[in-house]
Amino acid sequence: MDSRIHDILRRNQLSVTASREKILNLFLTNTRALAHADIEHKAGERFDRVTVYRTLQTFVEKGILHTIPTADNSVKYALCKNDCFEGHHHDNHYHFICSVCGKTECLEEFIIPSVKLPKEYLANNVEIVVNGICGACRKK
């Protein structure tokens, strides 16, 4: 298994267990974001539902993964870039969901534009999710 996996877990003070290695590996080998169900029903693997919930929760807390809110109200998870650390997510990129193939991806190369707010209001975090059709699906 990829040596990065062991490093990531240890760097976050997490014991290296089989489930954590496998789940983290899914994210390292998939560019697209994954939902809870994608992981639980992954072909060739059988994870306990509870373990998946707890693992994902731990990874988010540690800043290894971040969540992507979607319009249909299903949470997806994606790898954070290296500069996230415990409790402080620095994901100032936005997300794209293809309405044809369902692919969900982080658009790391684009920075979130600044948004205006009413006086006295304080912004903490800005989530942007773009729905549309990805390049691959448009060519079909």
Query: Which residues of this protein are in contact with a copy of itself, per CB under 8 A?
Result: 67, 69-71, 73-75, 94, 96, 99, 107, 109-110, 113-135, 138-139
* Contact present, 28 and 4 (Cβ < 8 Å): yes
| Sign of the four-CA dihedral 20, 104, 134, 125 | negative
Task: Please tell me whether residue 136 binds DNA under the rule CB under 7 A.
Answer: no
* Contact present, 69 and 127 (Cβ < 8 Å): yes
Binding-residue total with DNA (CB under 7 A):
24
Buried b (16+ CB within 10 A) or exposed e, 12-37: eebeeeeebebbbeebeeeebbbbee
Residue 135 binding: pick among a copy of itself, DNA, none (C-beta 5-8 Å cut-off by kind): a copy of itself
Binding mask 43-72 for DNA (x = CB under 7 A): ----xxxxx-xxx-xx--------------
- Three-class DSSP category at 20: helix
- Three-class DSSP category at 75: coil
CB of 130 to a copy of itself, least distance (A): 5
Residue 85 binding: pick among DNA, a copy of itself, none (C-beta 5-8 Å cut-off by kind): none
| Interface positions with DNA (CB under 7 A) | 9-10, 14-20, 36-37, 47-51, 53-55, 57-58, 73-75
